[in-house]
Amino acid sequence: MAKTIFEKLGGKYERQGDYLIPCIALPAEEEQPIGTWGQRHLNYLKQYRRVTYTNLLTSGRLNTYLADIDRQAQERSHRLIEDMKQAQGITERLKEENALEWTGRLNNIRACAREIVGKELIYA
Protein backbone atom coordinates (compact mmCIF):
# COMPACT_ATOMS: atom_id res chain seq x y z
CA MET A 1 0.00 0.00 0.00
CA ALA A 2 1.34 3.47 -0.93
CA LYS A 3 2.25 5.87 1.84
CA THR A 4 0.01 8.86 2.45
CA ILE A 5 1.36 12.40 2.52
CA PHE A 6 1.01 12.31 6.31
CA GLU A 7 3.23 9.23 6.49
CA LYS A 8 5.77 10.73 4.07
CA LEU A 9 6.08 13.72 6.40
CA GLY A 10 6.83 11.43 9.35
CA GLY A 11 3.32 10.98 10.72
CA LYS A 12 2.11 7.72 12.21
CA TYR A 13 -1.28 6.10 12.60
CA GLU A 14 -2.76 4.18 15.50
CA ARG A 15 -5.31 1.43 14.83
CA GLN A 16 -8.53 1.70 16.82
CA GLY A 17 -10.93 -1.01 15.77
CA ASP A 18 -11.37 -0.79 12.00
CA TYR A 19 -9.99 2.74 11.77
CA LEU A 20 -6.51 4.24 11.54
CA ILE A 21 -6.34 7.41 13.63
CA PRO A 22 -3.42 9.81 13.10
CA CYS A 23 -1.19 10.26 16.17
CA ILE A 24 -1.22 14.01 16.61
CA ALA A 25 0.06 15.98 19.62
CA LEU A 26 0.67 19.65 20.27
CA PRO A 27 4.31 20.67 20.25
CA ALA A 28 5.94 20.96 23.66
CA GLU A 29 6.06 24.52 24.94
CA GLU A 30 8.11 26.05 27.71
CA GLU A 31 5.85 27.11 30.56
CA GLN A 32 6.27 30.76 31.48
CA PRO A 33 4.30 32.68 34.09
CA ILE A 34 1.54 34.82 32.66
CA GLY A 35 0.39 37.81 34.68
CA THR A 36 -2.78 39.85 34.69
CA TRP A 37 -2.15 41.49 31.33
CA GLY A 38 -1.47 38.13 29.68
CA GLN A 39 -4.65 36.66 31.14
CA ARG A 40 -6.69 39.60 29.87
CA HIS A 41 -5.23 39.21 26.38
CA LEU A 42 -5.89 35.45 26.48
CA ASN A 43 -9.56 36.09 27.28
CA TYR A 44 -9.70 38.64 24.45
CA LEU A 45 -8.18 36.16 21.99
CA LYS A 46 -10.58 33.41 23.02
CA GLN A 47 -13.60 35.66 22.68
CA TYR A 48 -12.82 37.87 19.67
CA ARG A 49 -9.80 36.42 17.83
CA ARG A 50 -10.48 32.69 17.77
CA VAL A 51 -8.40 31.98 14.65
CA THR A 52 -5.34 33.71 16.11
CA TYR A 53 -5.86 31.88 19.40
CA THR A 54 -6.15 28.50 17.64
CA ASN A 55 -3.09 29.14 15.47
CA LEU A 56 -0.97 30.11 18.48
CA LEU A 57 -2.24 27.15 20.49
CA THR A 58 -1.64 24.55 17.78
CA SER A 59 1.79 25.92 16.88
CA GLY A 60 2.90 25.71 20.52
CA ARG A 61 3.60 29.43 20.85
CA LEU A 62 0.61 30.59 22.91
CA ASN A 63 2.32 30.64 26.31
CA THR A 64 5.42 32.41 24.97
CA TYR A 65 3.26 34.94 23.13
CA LEU A 66 1.16 35.71 26.22
CA ALA A 67 4.24 36.02 28.44
CA ASP A 68 5.72 38.48 25.95
CA ILE A 69 2.49 40.53 25.80
CA ASP A 70 2.40 40.56 29.62
CA ARG A 71 6.01 41.76 29.83
CA GLN A 72 5.44 44.49 27.22
CA ALA A 73 2.27 45.67 28.96
CA GLN A 74 3.97 45.84 32.36
CA GLU A 75 6.91 47.81 30.95
CA ARG A 76 4.59 50.19 29.08
CA SER A 77 2.44 50.68 32.17
CA HIS A 78 5.42 51.48 34.40
CA ARG A 79 6.85 53.87 31.80
CA LEU A 80 3.51 55.67 31.42
CA ILE A 81 3.03 55.99 35.18
CA GLU A 82 6.51 57.44 35.68
CA ASP A 83 6.10 59.87 32.77
CA MET A 84 2.68 61.04 34.00
CA LYS A 85 3.95 61.43 37.57
CA GLN A 86 6.78 63.59 36.33
CA ALA A 87 4.51 65.65 34.04
CA GLN A 88 2.01 66.31 36.87
CA GLY A 89 4.67 67.01 39.46
CA ILE A 90 3.79 64.16 41.79
CA THR A 91 6.80 63.73 44.07
CA GLU A 92 7.76 62.17 47.37
CA ARG A 93 7.47 65.63 48.90
CA LEU A 94 3.76 65.72 48.01
CA LYS A 95 3.44 62.29 49.57
CA GLU A 96 4.92 63.60 52.82
CA GLU A 97 2.85 66.80 52.84
CA ASN A 98 -0.53 65.47 51.70
CA ALA A 99 -0.73 61.68 51.49
CA LEU A 100 -4.43 61.65 50.60
CA GLU A 101 -3.99 63.92 47.58
CA TRP A 102 -0.90 61.96 46.50
CA THR A 103 -2.86 58.69 46.67
CA GLY A 104 -5.78 60.09 44.70
CA ARG A 105 -3.61 61.53 41.97
CA LEU A 106 -1.51 58.38 41.72
CA ASN A 107 -4.62 56.19 41.50
CA ASN A 108 -5.91 58.42 38.69
CA ILE A 109 -2.61 58.04 36.83
CA ARG A 110 -2.66 54.25 37.27
CA ALA A 111 -6.21 54.08 35.92
CA CYS A 112 -5.21 56.17 32.89
CA ALA A 113 -2.15 53.99 32.27
CA ARG A 114 -4.27 50.82 32.58
CA GLU A 115 -6.72 52.16 30.01
CA ILE A 116 -3.96 53.19 27.57
CA VAL A 117 -2.16 49.84 27.82
CA GLY A 118 -5.45 48.02 27.40
CA LYS A 119 -6.25 49.89 24.19
CA GLU A 120 -2.71 49.71 22.79
CA LEU A 121 -1.70 46.13 23.59
CA ILE A 122 -4.39 44.00 25.17
CA TYR A 123 -7.58 44.68 23.23
CA ALA A 124 -6.09 45.52 19.85
100: CB partners within 8 A, 6+ apart:
none
- As a whole number of angstroms, the distance between CA 121 and CA 79 comes to 14
Task: Read off the pTM.
Answer: 0.76
Residue 80 clears pLDDT 70, i.e. is over it:
yes
* pLDDT, tens digit, 9 for 90 and up, residues 27-72: 677 788 999 999 999 999 999 999 999 999 988 899 999 999 999 9
